[in-house]
Structure 1
Amino acid sequence: MTAPAAHQTARAVPSPLGGLLASTRAELLRLRKWPAVWVLAVVWLLLNLTFAYIFNYVAYATDSSGFSNEGVDPSALLPELLPAAIPSVFTGGMPMFGGAIMFILGALAAGSGFGWGSWKTALTQGPGRISTFGGTLVAVATVVVTVVAATLALDLAASVLIAVTEGQTLTWPALGALAESVGGGLLIFGMWASAGVLVGVLTRSPALAVGLGLVWSLVIENLLRGVGNLLGGVEYVTNVLPGTAAGSVAGALGPASEGDPEGAPGILTVLDGGPAALLVTAYLVIFAAIAAVLMKRRDVP
């Protein structure tokens, strides 16, 4: 091989940063064109709109009670439906329902590459496994940020519409409280999406990863917390589980911190807001790091 040819071959190999950017662009294109991702995002937005605003507004407008506002005077629901209350209601459905949807997103994004054989192709052509897999992590994080932003926009639109309909003065939420609530939402969604990516890499099967994730987040953690209430030793473990940490973040931001521990499913007050946020952040980083190490060291069939 001549010197110019060798030089051209060396330049054809992308740098780690270039590989990360290329992988991110490719993953974003794949996720953007994948109907499953859009379905998951729309399902979450509809759930959020329905349980945070539609049910409560119908109960207020008809002066009736239902499962969503049992034991609450319907006339007291209106303040929670106005723009000023967004910081306290924004994360209400995220720990359980939204978290489960983000877990599915992460599991599909990472696990589908094994069944389709795309990981084998990508990892044999890129600058390195970490750069290639890092693109998936960045793409999933981008989707999480986009969904959280869309949730905020939808909540703002719904609350403004209700305020105008009911002739209420538009009072905007405090920026500091709103930033805390959005940050909490990003941490909760990011942690569950990172957990989905890890389980997707561990199982190498998106279907199995989704099933395990849903069973863990919706069933096992709740059972363990129930046992922990009876056995003191188990309680020390349940207090630091991912779902407990995520629920405590939402509880510190929402109505549960104001004396309503029986709020939306998944809302908890086991941990204070600061320690819960740190624990969620630690889980997010640990899950992503373990997934990256596994992708680097294991053979990809």
Structure 2
Amino acid sequence: MTAMTAMTALTAGARAEVLRLRRWPALWTLAAAWLLLNITFGYLFPYLSYRNGGGFGSDGVDPGRLLGDVLPETVPAAAVQGMPMFGGAILFALGALAAGSGYGWGTWKTAFTQGPGRLSVLGGTLAALAGCVAAFVAATFAVDFGIALSLASVEGQAIVWPAAGDLLGGLGGGALILALWTAAGLAVGTLTRNPALAVALGLVWTLAVENLLRAVSSLLDWLAPITDVMPGTAAGSIATAAGAASVSDGGSPGVVDDLGGGAAVTVALVYLAVFVIVTAVLMRRDVA
């Protein structure tokens, strides 16, 4: 296959996957669920706490801080704070469903036997999912800026925009966090070929197992080096580097500061590459 032919096949695969995902109700349901969670925990609860003088786990917190958390200057931190756990679980489900449904509906079997090849199918799927990740991040920041600007206007606060570095860090960090979990879901979905099982495994891991292991590691010293390099730890540390408060400082669940920003990004990129490679190996060895 020549380079031109391979590129054509990849482009065709990406268009086919985008068409499949775009017409897929699950994609829009997951997107709506994430935005609802982001708005609820990032803006609704903090603002209600500010207006009521406390509540929602923020008793004793300075009202000025509560108000500052929902203003435009803090959008990068607010946007990424829910991504390590809640956003990660949702994007894991997206990746798992993309792979599992490809097998369950027979679309990948047809592409494997009659289409341009397995790696072209994988490349198209990865490109389509990358577009989904970018859209999730862009929509999150757009919605958050809209809400923050509205609240600043209602409260009579001056509009202070986040620094360019903070904004880029939030965008890049958020994209890496969601891409990491999407790739993990794609790998598990390809391994199990069962979307329901893959989604269940992802939810258990992202919402329970990693948090339990991190809690236990505070009692077992030998476990700490293992939990420090888990994908959730890397994702949570990236969120902290982007400005989100860690759970130990009253931040969202899943946001930790176990790794520095550079180390967290490195670990996340390694996991991202490993998940993609595992998916590719599984697809090449698969007998559709």
The two structures have a TM-score, normalised by structure 2, of 0.95
1:54 corresponds in structure 2 to 44
The alpha-carbon deviation at position 171 of structure 1 amounts to: 1.0
1:15 corresponds in structure 2 to 5
Assess if the C-alpha contact under 8 Å between 1:261 and 1:267 holds in 2: no
- Mapped partners of 1:96, 1:141: distance in 2: 19
Q: Secondary structure of the residue that 1:77 maps to in structure 2?
A: helix
- Mapped partners of 2:179, 2:59: distance in 1: 31
- Mapped partners of 2:120, 2:10: distance in 1: 5
Which of 120, 129, 140 is the equivalent residue of 2:129? 140
Question: Residues 70 and 20 from structure 1, CA distance in 2 versus in 1: closer, same or farther, beyond 3 angstroms?
Answer: farther
- Mapped partners of 1:206, 1:131: distance in 2: 22
1:126 corresponds in structure 2 to 115
Deviations 1:162-216 (A, max 9, x none): 0111111111111111001110000000000000000000001000000111111
- Mapped partners of 2:180, 2:244: distance in 1: 22
2:197 corresponds in structure 1 to 208
Assess if the C-alpha contact under 8 Å between 2:189 and 2:195 holds in 1: yes
Which of 252, 269, 277 is the equivalent residue of 1:264? 252
1:191 corresponds in structure 2 to 180
The alpha-carbon deviation at position 43 of structure 1 amounts to: 0.6
1:35 corresponds in structure 2 to 25
Worse-superposed segment, 20-29 or 220-229: 220-229
Assess if the C-alpha contact under 8 Å between 1:245 and 1:279 holds in 2: yes
Q: CA RMSD in A?
A: 1.7
Question: Residues 291 and 167 from structure 1, CA distance in 2 versus in 1: closer, same or farther, beyond 3 angstroms?
Answer: same
The alpha-carbon deviation at position 260 of structure 1 amounts to: 5.5
2:56 corresponds in structure 1 to 66
Q: What count of residue pairs does the alignment treat as equivalent?
A: 287
2:271 corresponds in structure 1 to 283
Deviations 1:124-150 (A, max 9, x none): 122221011211111011101001000
AA aligned to 2:262 is: G
Q: Secondary structure of the residue that 2:191 maps to in structure 1?
A: helix
- Mapped partners of 1:133, 1:255: distance in 2: 34
AA aligned to 2:6 is: P
Identity %: 53
AA aligned to 2:40 is: T
1:5 corresponds in structure 2 to none
Alignment of 1:90-101 (within 5 A): 90-101=79-90
Assess if the C-alpha contact under 8 Å between 2:50 and 2:66 holds in 1: yes
- Mapped partners of 1:261, 1:130: distance in 2: 44
- Mapped partners of 2:256, 2:59: distance in 1: 18
Worse-superposed segment, 117-126 or 235-244: 117-126
2:157 is the counterpart of 1:158: no
2:95 corresponds in structure 1 to 106
Question: Which 4+ residue blocks in structure 1 deviate beyond 4 angstroms?
Answer: none
- Mapped partners of 1:244, 1:292: distance in 2: 25
Q: Secondary structure of the residue that 2:219 maps to in structure 1?
A: coil
1:298 corresponds in structure 2 to 286
- Mapped partners of 1:70, 1:217: distance in 2: 28
Question: Residues 229 and 260 from structure 1, CA distance in 2 versus in 1: closer, same or farther, beyond 3 angstroms?
Answer: closer
The two structures have a TM-score, normalised by structure 1, of 0.91
Assess if the C-alpha contact under 8 Å between 1:261 and 1:269 holds in 2: no
AA aligned to 1:119 is: W
